[in-house]
Every structure is written in C-alpha cells, then in structure tokens.
A and B are shown apart, each in its own frame.
Chain A
Amino acid sequence: MSSGQKPASYLVYVFMVVVLGILVFALYITFEGFLALITGLDQSATYQLMMGLLGVMMSMYMFMQFRKRLTLIRPPPPLSMTSVVECKKCGLKSLRKFARGDFVFKTVENCEKCSTPMLVTGIYTEEARKTAL
C-alpha cells in the first residue's frame, strides 16, 4: 500500500478561491465602512462595517473548519521505526533504521569490534501514531 498522499481534488482549490474571494470582498466592505465613517455617513458606515466584519468572521470560520476537516482526512506521514542492535559479547550497541524482516532476537551482521554476530534487541518508534492508514 502506498503511504503517499492523494493529489488534492480540484474542488479543494475552488473552495479556497471562494473563501478567499469572500474574505477580500468583506475586507473591501469594511474599508468602505471606515471611509464612510470618516466622511460622516454614520448610518451607511454602520451597515458596511457590520457586513464587512461579519464577512471576515465567516470566511475565517469557513477556512478553519475546512482546515480541521482536511487534518482529519489527510493520512499522516509514515512512522520511522528504529532497530536496536546489540553485541552480547562486547556490549556494543547501535541504532539503525528498521529493515523489513527485522525482529527482536534476530541475529544480524557481525560486530565491528569483536566480529561476533549481533542481535536485534528492540524495535521501536519515537512518536505515537494516530492513524497509520
């Protein structure tokens, strides 16, 4: 099974453009509201500021919800597994990347120091994984 991520659907990009469009439009309305406030058009300024700020909040909320949903769906990167390799004779201990076929108490390559076969004494990951698939 491939652990790579699927390319994002074009709908994702359409949604992002729509949200960005709403945000830009809301910011423009807010700016217009400020201009109206400065020029003394109080009633118009109130409506425009209200609409603008509401638009900014809505677009930010949509963006955050969208991000949350993407995080839920997106598969996490594969875990890095480490094998602890130990020489029972001289005590030399080394860590290496887990290789398929490794298991605890498997005899592997010879020790660099004393040339006796080394043992895999542990296999672990540093990080706890939420979802593997």
Chain B
Amino acid sequence: MLREIGAAVFKLKEMKDKARALAIASVRENEKDLDPTPRIDHFLEYFTITPANLDPAGIVPKFEHLIDVSDQRLEDEVKIIAPNADKVKSNNIEGVLSHTTGLNAIYRFINHFYLLGKKTMSLYVIMQIQMQLPLIMQFAEALANSVKAFAEGQPIGDGAGALVAAKMMYGTPSRKISREIVAAETQVGNRRLLVLKAEGPGTSVGKPGDGIKKLIEEEEGRVAMVIMIDAAGKYEGEKSGEVSEGVGAAIGGIGVDQFIIEEISLKYKIPVHAVAIKESNQEALSPMTKEILDGTETAVARVKRIIREGTKEGDTVIVAGVGNTVGIGQ
C-alpha cells in the first residue's frame, strides 16, 4: 500500500512541477524581462479559509464575499506578474495559476499522508488515503489536463453550457451585466430571449447568479422562464454528450450562485429549467471532445423546444449558459 501511495506521490509531483513550469512559461510569453518564478512559487501555497459554519444562518453572503476577495487577489497577482498581458491572456494565466495551486495542494496532502504513514507505520493512516487514492488521482489528472488547455486557450468540456449560449447569442450585440458576464437579446419563435454567458474567450466562469438576478430585476420579475444549460457529471456507462432535462438551477461550484438564482426565482415565482450535457469529471476539465461539441447542437434544439412548449409568444425568457468559457467567444 505504501509503495502504491509512493508512486502516486511521484506522479503528483511530476504533474505539479510541469504545471508550475507551464505557468511560468505562460507568463514569460508576454513578460520577457520579468522573472515570475518566485511570485508564482509563493502563490502556489495560497489558501482560502472557509467561513465558520457553527451557526450556518447567513453563511452564503460570507462565502460570496470570500470568493470575491479570492478572485480579486488572483486578478491582482496576475496584474503584477504579467502587466502587459491583455484581458484574454490574463484570464488564461489566472486559470493556469488557480488550477496549478489546486494540484500543488493535492500533492502536499497526499505527500503528508505518505510520510506520516511511513513514520508511524500505522495501517489506519495508510489505508484511509489508499482507499481514496483512485478518485483523488482522477481529479488531479483532470486538473492537469485543464492547466494545459487554459495555457493554450482551448475550450474544455465544462464550456459546453457557455458554447450553447454563445451559439444562441451569436450575431447580436452583447453587453456586460455583472462580473465577467455578458448578455445579448435575441428572438426564438416570437419570444424575447435574454441569453447570458461568461465573457470569453479567456478563462472565466463569471458570476451567472448575479447576472440572472440583474436581468430579472431589470425586467421587474416579468420573466416567463429561466433555462440554465450546464455540463453535468455522467455516470459510468453513460455516453458523453447526451443531453438530459430537468428543473432547478443547473450550476456547480460552492453553491453561492445556485442560492442567488433560487432566491430570486422564488421571489418572482419564475420556473427554472435545466438542460444538462453529460460528461465525466475528467472530460469537464479536458479539451472538448467531438461528442460534447455535437451535444451542444442537441442542447440548442432542446432549449428552443422547451421555450416553444413552455411559454407564449411575446414572453421573455432568460437562457443562461453556465461553465468555463475558455476558447469560446460570443
């Protein structure tokens, strides 16, 4: 068991070293005279302390504030190490840095248990990490895949939702409505569509919760339906790129955006529909596959069908494409 964990530690170290090298190379593309290595090494140890949940009432705004501070800190850090990078490049560097930090955290965690296991020779210490190792390694591999995709600006599987929104809003002027979220107005079957997604083509997920809330408030609650499209985890044995439907706020993450969308939709009694494009966790963070790309076409058709069947002519519908928009413009 210890040898198995040792091999995993070796592999994780390789992955995080290569991700670090990639982060340095990404910054150096724009900044020939600056050496970002010490700054990047400092940032790899960056951590976030989650709010105390002893009294969970009011914890969501605390999480939201924490995420905002963390995002701002990352943005500021990139401005310092790559001052000449444009918006797209900066966003991509932010993505590379944040996922490299994640890889580094996994490496440190597994290495800690490996060394602790060796030191104590306690079966319980060794076993508790060995049993979780396959899933941890899968996640680490997915993170490693995303680092390379972000550095090269390639769309990833998680961008399926954003791509569906981009396809629906293409050709219409878009405006920025909240932090890294853009919206455009279009028509489907005489219904007014407000389509929103993260601002591409740089690495970004934006704050879709705030975006939806703002659009609903602008419309003073007169919205017939909200449709959210997102990449969703498939079960083993299911086909990637398949599309399924449901109700509720289709959005991952810590839960802040989901909470905001649920609150505002409840306030105005707006039905929220979900369209999911199935993919594995690894596919979500790896470059987009042909099956997922084809799945986005099916999802566009599904969204249009839901709109036609669930609303009347003249209604206003909000369509939100959720996910990382790296490599996807609008």
Contact = CB atoms under 8 A, between A and B. Distances in A.
Contacts of A105: 166, 170, 328-330
Interface string B138-154: 00010011011101111
A133 B144 contact: yes
Main secondary structure of the interface of A (DSSP, over half): loop
Contact of B11 (A72, A103, A104): A72
Given A104-B328, A129-B145, A1 B25 contact: yes
A73 interface: yes
B199 interface: no
A100 B155 CA distance: 12
Given A69-B7, A104-B329, A126 B290 contact: yes
Contacts of A127: 289
Interface residues of A, number: 26
A130 B10 contact: no
B290 A131 contact: no
A114 interface: no
A125 interface: yes
B293 interface: yes
Given A124-B292, A129-B286, A133-B15, 7 more contacts: A100-B152, A103-B200, A104-B328, A122-B293, A123-B154, A126-B289, A129-B287
Interface of A: 1, 69, 72-73, 79, 81, 98, 100-106, 122-133
24 contacts: A1-B18, A69-B7, A72-B11, A73-B10, A81-B154, A98-B154, A100-B153, A102-B327, A103-B201, A104-B155, A104-B166, A105-B166, A123-B154, A123-B327, A124-B287, A124-B289, A125-B287, A125-B289, A127-B289, A129-B287, A130-B282, A131-B144, A133-B18, A133-B148
Interface of B: 7, 10-11, 14-15, 18-19, 21-22, 25, 141, 144-145, 147-149, 151-155, 163, 166, 170, 200-201, 240, 282-283, 286-290, 292-293, 327-330
